[in-house]
Amino acid sequence: MDNENSKGQPYMRLAGALLTLFLLTCITVYVSRLKLGSMGIWVALFVAAAKSSVVLLIFMHIKKEGKAVMISFLAAVFILALVIGILFFDLSYRAG
């Protein structure tokens, strides 16, 4: 049995990514049961961002792509964070 899959990634790295995703899912379930108020949304978004980063870096091999792909990915993340921040800012100042 070989220690790498067809894409050249070691199985231990993939198993580590799988365990990380399981752990982050458990954290998501645990945090959903806590009474965090408005901070609950921020914690959930942070955990979701961490899970998507694991998927992008390990399974989609974005780390091995060229600079153009990495720059467009970071630009998309920045724009998404900006839009979510503006949305939460707007919602916090709306009346009832």
Confidence (pTM): 0.69
pLDDT for 84 equals: 85
How does pLDDT run along the chain (96 residues), one tens digit per residue? 556 565 566 888 889 999 999 999 999 999 889 888 878 888 888 899 889 888 888 888 887 788 888 888 889 888 988 998 888 888 778 765
- The pLDDT, as a whole number, for residue 30 is 92
Give the 3-state secondary structure of residue 26.
helix
- The residues that bridge with 4 in the sheet, in sequence order, are 10
State the sign of the Cα–Cα–Cα–Cα dihedral 39, 44, 50, 53. Answer: negative
Q: How far is CA 9 from CA 1, 27, 92, in A?
A: 14, 27, 45
Contact 48, 41 (CB under 8 A): no
Domain assignments of the chain as residue spans, ordered by start: 1-63, 65-96
**Predicted pLDDT at 3:** 63
